């Protein structure tokens, strides 16, 4: 039987349909004629818990949650449903509080693009992996959510993606999450998330572990070649090991139209890239800091970006400005082999500190034209001067 939608719900449903069709490229244009709306509220509604409504829902139903704080941990259990707050444009009003018991939200049953969550605060989760959201072999849509103040004892304080997970994460704020090892904000391992128009800020990766590949205060990407970061602001994140903003290892992800600023780590203040071939396009990388003290091995470790272990990036139209290693200008460092560590221009010449770019690779000639900035080579005796803005117009691997 076709359900008659109450008049006061029509605007909400129209908004749901519009937002969903926009983000899903018309994958789902409208609910099935058999779809039902399951309403959840603190009192006076059919359901008082979100999980209760999910359990009762069928594919293509809508679970509509009214404002309030719901202390629970939810699992979508493979259902192709839309979970939305009453006002998905104001996630602050509807809170799912994990009570430090488990991940707040779990997708682990092959959910796909017909599974959607939008318009919630997701807080106070604590788990080994994915304190806020755990996404394993699933590809849901996560839209307009605030994922904050969650913790992971291993990876992915805010979100953990694993085992070919391909979620679409858009218009979210991922803030003040913590991980013990890697990915304070988001961790992607063997997965391909698409992260667009998100703010990833003030997250922390402790990284104090015996494992070498730890870090990523904001984002950690390990063997996740198809990861896409687009239109995101990644700022004020910290890592105790490497990659204050982003840590990339063993893959070829894409970072496009992003602002990466005011992040901090001992090396790779903005980004640390290890044995990877990322494409970095039209980004602004500014005011990041590498904190390792001078005189240590690999100490000049890229305030803006550290490329190491045969990383072969492609960078097009990237602006570097104000990145430092402690108080010294340090925009980019290429570091290949610890036995041949070499950093060009780490000294004063004519009262100017050089090292806008460090070529820390004994085989630098494999790069096109020694990199050209403002139409001239940068490196050797042609380094950019302290205070210059460094703009990489086109750097590409051979």
Q: Tell me the C-alpha distance between 26 and 39, whole Å.
A: 25
* C-beta separation of 237 from 258 below 8 A: no
Write the DSSP string, 5-53: PPGGGHHHHHHHHHHHHHHTTTS--S--TT--EEEE-SSSSSBSSHHHH
Q: Tell me the C-alpha distance between 122 and 147, whole Å.
A: 5
Nearest CA to 227 out of 268, 264, 269, 183 is that of 183
Q: Tell me the C-alpha distance between 40 and 18, whole Å.
A: 22
Burial zone of 317 (CB within 10 Å; 0-12 exposed, 13-18 middle, 19+ buried): middle
Residue 185 binned pLDDT confidence (cut-offs 50, 70, 90): very high
For residue 209, the tally of other CB atoms under 10 A from its CB is: 14
With H, G, I as helix, E, B as strand and everything else as coil, classify residue 74: strand
Residue 17 has pLDDT above 90, yes or no: no
Residue 5 has pLDDT above 50, yes or no: no
Element spanning 54, H or E: helix 50-56
pLDDT score recorded for residue 303: 87
111-115, 289-293, 321-325, 344-348, range with greatest mean pLDDT: 111-115
* C-beta separation of 171 from 146 below 8 A: no
How much is the pTM?
Answer: 0.82
Tokens at 177, concatenated: 């999450």
The set of long-range contacts for 380-385, using a CB threshold of 8 Å and a minimum separation of 24, is 380/344, 383/344, 383/345, 383/354, 383/355, 383/356, 383/357, 384/354, 384/356, 384/357, 385/352, 385/354, 385/356
Query: Which neighbouring-strand residues pair with 307?
Result: 273, 334
Nearest CA to 193 out of 152, 148, 142, 119 is that of 142
Give the per-residue SS3 of 114-175.
Answer: CCEEECCEEECCEEEECCCEEEECCCCEEECCEEECCEEEEECCCEEEECCCCCEEECCEEE
Residue 9 has pLDDT above 60, yes or no: no
Could you read off the pLDDT of 261-294 as tens digits, one per residue?
999 999 899 999 998 889 988 899 999 999 875 5
Q: Tell me the C-alpha distance between 53 and 79, whole Å.
A: 12
CA distances to 141, 146, 169, 321, 323 from 183, in Å = 20, 17, 16, 25, 22
Vertex 386 angle, CA 382 and 389, to 5°: 85
**What is the maximal distance between C-alpha atoms in the chain?**
83
Q: Tell me the C-alpha distance between 2 and 35, whole Å.
A: 8
Q: CA neighbours within 13 Å on the CB side: how many for 349?
A: 12
Q: How much is the average pLDDT of 36-62?
A: 96
Residue 363 binned pLDDT confidence (cut-offs 50, 70, 90): very low
Q: What percent of the chain has pLDDT over 90?
A: 57
pLDDT score recorded for residue 334: 67
For residue 367, the tally of other CB atoms under 10 A from its CB is: 18
* C-beta separation of 136 from 108 below 8 A: yes
* C-beta separation of 32 from 58 below 8 A: no
pLDDT score recorded for residue 237: 98
pLDDT score recorded for residue 321: 82
């Amino acid at each position: 039987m076709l359900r008659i939608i109450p008049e006061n719900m029509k605007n909400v449903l129209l908004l749901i349909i519009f937002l969903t069709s926009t983000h899903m490229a018309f994958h789902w244009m409208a609910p099935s004629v058999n779809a039902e709306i399951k309403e959840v509220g603190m009192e006076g509604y059919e359901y008082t818990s979100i999980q209760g409504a999910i359990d009762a829902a069928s594919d293509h139903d809508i679970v509509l949650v009214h404002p309030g704080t719901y202390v629970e941990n939810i699992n979508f259990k493979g259902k192709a449903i839309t979970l939305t707050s009453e006002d998905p444009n104001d996630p602050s009003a509807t809170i799912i509080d994990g009570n430090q018991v488990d991940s707040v939200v779990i997708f682990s049953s092959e959910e796909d693009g017909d599974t959607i969550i939008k318009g919630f605060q997701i807080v106070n989760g604590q788990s080994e992996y994915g304190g806020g959201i755990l996404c394993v072999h699933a590809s849901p849509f996560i839209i307009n959510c605030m994922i904050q103040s969650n913790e992971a004892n291993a990876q992915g304080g805010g979100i953990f993606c694993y085992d070919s997970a391909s979620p679409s994460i858009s218009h979210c704020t991922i803030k003040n999450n913590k991980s013990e090892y890697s990915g304070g904000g988001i961790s992607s391992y063997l997965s391909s998330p698409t992260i667009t128009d998100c703010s990833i800020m003030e997250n922390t990766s402790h990284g104090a572990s015996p494992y070498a590949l730890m870090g990523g205060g904001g984002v950690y990407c390990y063997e996740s070649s198809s990861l896409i970061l687009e239109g995101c602001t990644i700022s004020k994140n910290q890592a105790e090991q490497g990659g204050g903003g982003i840590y990339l290892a063993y893959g070829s992800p894409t970072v496009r139209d992003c602002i990466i600023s005011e992040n901090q780590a001992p090396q790779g203040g903005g980004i640390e890239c290890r044995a990877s071939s990322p494409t970095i396009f039209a980004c602004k990388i500014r005011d990041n800091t590498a904190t390792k003290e001078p005189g240590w091995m690999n100490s000049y470790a890229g305030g803006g970006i550290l490329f190491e272990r045969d990383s072969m990036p492609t960078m097009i139209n990237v602006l570097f400005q104000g990145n430092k290693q402690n108080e010294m200008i340090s925009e980019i460092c290429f570091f290949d082999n610890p036995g041949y560590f070499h950093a060009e221009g780490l000294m004063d010449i004519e009262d100017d500190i050089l090292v806008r770019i460090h070529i820390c690779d004994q085989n630098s000639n494999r790069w096109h034209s020694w990199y050209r900035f403002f139409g001239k080579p940068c490196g050797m005796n042609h380094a950019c001067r302290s205070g210059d803005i460094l703009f990489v117009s086109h750097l590409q691997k051979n």
